Amino acid sequence: MSSPIDEPFIIKHIGYLLNSYVRWTGRELIPPASSPSERAKGLFEQKFVVLSHGTQADPILNYGNKAALDLWELTWEEFTKMPSRLTAEPVNREDRDRLLAQVRKNGFIDTYSGVRITGSGRRFLIERGTVWNIVDENDRYIGQAATFSEWKFVG
């Protein structure tokens, strides 16, 4: 059975995600690779978390690398069917919505911190995360992504 990261849609999506990161931040998220497939595999195996969601009215997660899947304690299938709002507890969703609106307006932020919740209900604090808009080759908005490497479980 092939891995989800071998799917043409995911490989293309990761290209948009990585190119958009460079566009907004001026930095590479991962070193360049010889092919889009190698970039997809490289991003999936990173130790830092990367996730993204689409543009639905209630955006659905459409990518999580291995670190994200492990942190949220979910399989690829579970993760990519989940509305992204469910990564936050109900009490934190209003703050999350404000953050995402700010990113939509400004392109990215790189000072995100906030509490999120795993699939099993464990709470963790993200520190110094980056959230950015994903655009395609026609500069069309297709979602948002986030990355962070610092988190700790809390109460």
Beta-bridge partner residues of 150: 127
What is the pTM for the complete model shown? 0.92
pLDDT digits (tens, 9 = 90+) for 41-79: 999 999 999 999 999 999 999 999 999 999 999 999 999
Residue 132: predicted pLDDT: 97
Q: What is the mean pLDDT of residues 7-14?
A: 95
- Domains in the chain: boundaries: 4-154
3-state helix, strand, coil in the chain (%, to 5): 40, 30, 30
Local confidence band at 3 (pLDDT 50, 70, 90 cut-offs): low
pLDDT digits (tens, 9 = 90+) for 108-119: 999 888 899 999
Whose tokens are 């986030």? That residue is 146
pLDDT digits (tens, 9 = 90+) for 25-40: 999 999 988 899 999 9
* CA atoms within 13 A of residue 39's CA, in its CB half-sphere: 20
Average pLDDT for the chain: 92
pLDDT digits (tens, 9 = 90+) for 96-155: 788 888 888 899 999 888 899 999 999 999 999 999 999 999 999 999 999 999 999 997
pLDDT at 1 over 50: no
Tell me the CATH architecture of domain 4-154: 2-Layer Sandwich (3.30)
Percent of the chain surpassing pLDDT 90: 78
Pairing of strands 61-64, 49-53: antiparallel
Dist. CA 15–CA 3, nearest whole Å: 17
* CA atoms within 13 A of residue 107's CA, in its CB half-sphere: 9
Percent of the chain surpassing pLDDT 70: 97
